[in-house]
Every structure is written in structure tokens, then in C-alpha cells.
Amino acid sequence: MQASFLSKLFLLFFSCFLLKIEASKKQVSAMYVFGDSTVDPGNNNFINSPFRSNFPPYGRDFVNQKPTGRFTNGKLGTDFIVSYLGLKELLPPYLDPNLSDKEIVTGVSFASAGSGFDPLTPTLGNVISVAQQLEYFKEYKKRLEGLLGKQKTENHINNAFFFISAGTNDYVINYFSVPIRRNYYTPLTYGRFLLQHVKDFIQNLWKEGARKIALVGLPPMGCLPLVITLNSHNVLLERGCVEMYSAVARDYNMMLQHELFLLQLNFSDVPPGAKISYLDIYGPLDNMIQEHQKLGFDEVDHGCCGSGFIETTFLCNGFSLVCSDASKFVFWDSIHPTERAYFRLFMEARPKIDALINA
């Protein structure tokens, strides 16, 4: 009798828990994403840039083994998020000319592989700048108004979830690879320069109606296989993380969190209901690398594609040797995580996402 009562009580609590999850999902009208290759599902397929991944072996573990322009073997973290929010299974690229009205309404990604907050960064790969991504969002809003009307569009945007992931290219492709910014900035002052662009971007999103914004920090950049390779005297034997790069990432993340805190304190500029959440990628990714054996990863210092030391974009192609099981690797190519690593990053971020959308 008592066991039956407890069983019913458990089912009641479990049902309430599920209803709470569903209620939280219903508060989100759409998902909009801005940034770089970590969140680009294929926008670069539609521009003239070498920063593409719409060819094998990218997408090897995707639906129908289809290379879509995602820089991994399967789904991105933003695909897991949009599915978790109950909007759709995959987040499409905005520049896809075949997007249906239904796809448009529930959200898109404006991100472009190779982009960054520094206006110089996207010019190095001829990709879509963050400023242009914002212009595409304004263009998107006009199309949405044609579908929903002006007032409903405003409410729709107010209840949407905004996700921003950029900054790594600003350091890896730009600051540490070409001398232009290093002639004028130290790593610390360059970080402050980037953060001014971050703040401007957030304030511009506020003007366009964004109210729930999640911003991803930098990963342990010194642990990216490409960075290890380019900073090792012996690429086969010296495969440890490069502390200088990771230290720069930690300093930037601390400054970013501080600036986001100050930004929300300035009540005269913050729209009613606006919330910003910092999502830590450094800690979870570093943990996957340092504790990889406990988490079921075998390889952490090189990617699954080719040698995994330097291959990315067109260097990871149909002629490259590919590992048999990408789930054993943290990295797919020399920069980007595997689908399994992205899923773990999503799971780590989920409590912060829940808190943000329910705020």
C-alpha cells in the first residue's frame, strides 16, 4: 500500500517536473544565433570564402551523413539547444535561400565561420562580420513583420532566445597570427578593445528587441590542437596545452563577466526585462581534456580528421584519413569539437539557459 502511494507520489512530482520544463520551453518564441564557426550551420556555403565545411568528411555522423557547413562531424551545440527548447531539431543558416516561413519564424543562425568581434578578423577570411550579422537580423525582422505583423513581431523578438559565440578567431586567426593588432595592443588591452565591441553589439541587440541573451566565453585556446602544433618544437612529442594562450582566454573571460555585470547595472540603458547570461566554455572543455579518461575520451591533443594536428576547413577533406570513432575524440578537426563534445558543453550550459529563459 505504502509502496503504491509512493509510486503515485513520484509520478505526480515527475509529471509536475515535465510540465515545468514544457512551460519554460513555451516561453521561448525563437532562437537567434550570432558568431563564428562554433555556431555557423552553413552560412558560409553562400558566400565567397575559403572558410567552408560543406564537403566530406564534415557531417560524417550527421543525418544521412550530409555535410551541411557545420564544422564538426554532426550537430552543433546550438542544434541541441534549439531542440531542447522545443522549437525544432536543427537551427538553419539564415542565408539558405530555401528556408520556409515556418523555419524563419522559429529561428535561424546568422553566424559565419572565421568571424569575430574585431572588425579586422572577418576581413582575413572574407566572411560575414558581426556587424553584418546584425544587419541581416534587421532584414530578417522585416520579413517576419510581413508574416506576423509589426506588433506580433515585436513580442516574438522580446520572447526569443539570443545566443552569441565569438572571440576565439580574434586571438588565434588575428592577434597571434598577423602583426597588425600586436603593434598597438597587448593581449590585455586587445581584450578590452574586443569587449567594447561586445558591449556595442549587445546594446544594438537591445535596440532591436532582444531581451534574453546568452554570451559564450573563450575556450582554453592553448589546448586547441592547431595552437599546440604551431607552438611546438616537436609536433609529435610536445602535445601539451600552451599556457600562454589559455591564460589570455582566462583573463578575457574574467573581464567579460565583469563587463556584463556592469552593463546590467546601468539601469538607464537596460531595457525592461533584459537579461544577460555568461556561459562558461573554458571550464567544461578544459575538464574534458584533463579528465578525458573518466569521461570516455581517448584523444584530446589532436582531431579526428587527418593527422588532427593542423587540418581544418579545406585541409580536412575527402582525401583525409579519418578516425573510426569520433566519439572518442574531443576535437573533430584541429580547432572544432566533435558532436559528443558539443553535447557535453550543452549539458553543462543547460542550467544557465533554463535560468535565463525563466528569468
Q: Which residues are catalytic?
A: 37, 333, 336
Handedness of CA 49, 55, 61, 62 (dihedral sign): positive
Residue matched to cell numbers 581584450: 191
Residue matched to cell numbers 546590467: 264
Please state whether beta strands 275-279 and 212-216 pair in parallel, antiparallel, or not at all (unpaired): parallel
In degrees and rounded to multiples of 5, residue 299 shows phi and psi of -125, 130
Query: 133 vs 2, 136, 137, 138, CA distance in Å?
Result: 59, 5, 6, 9
Q: What is the C-alpha to C-alpha distance for residues 243 and 286, in angstroms, rounded to an integer?
A: 12
Angle at 66 between CA 60 and CA 70, to 5 degrees: 80
Residue matched to cell numbers 514544457: 22
Q: What is the C-alpha to C-alpha distance for residues 354 and 11, in angstroms, rounded to an integer?
A: 22
DSSP per-residue codes, 168-194:
HHIIIIIITTSSTGGGT--HHHHHHHH
Cβ neighbours, 10 Å, residue 99: 14
Query: 309 vs 246, 298, 300, CA distance in Å?
Result: 18, 16, 11
Query: 44 vs 85, 142, 195, 220, 228, CA distance in Å?
Result: 25, 22, 25, 25, 26
Please give the single-letter amino acid code of residue 332. W
Q: What is the C-alpha to C-alpha distance for residues 161 and 29, in angstroms, rounded to an integer?
A: 8
Please state whether beta strands 31-35 and 161-165 pair in parallel, antiparallel, or not at all (unpaired): parallel
Residue 316 exposure: Cα atoms within 13 Å on the Cβ side: 36
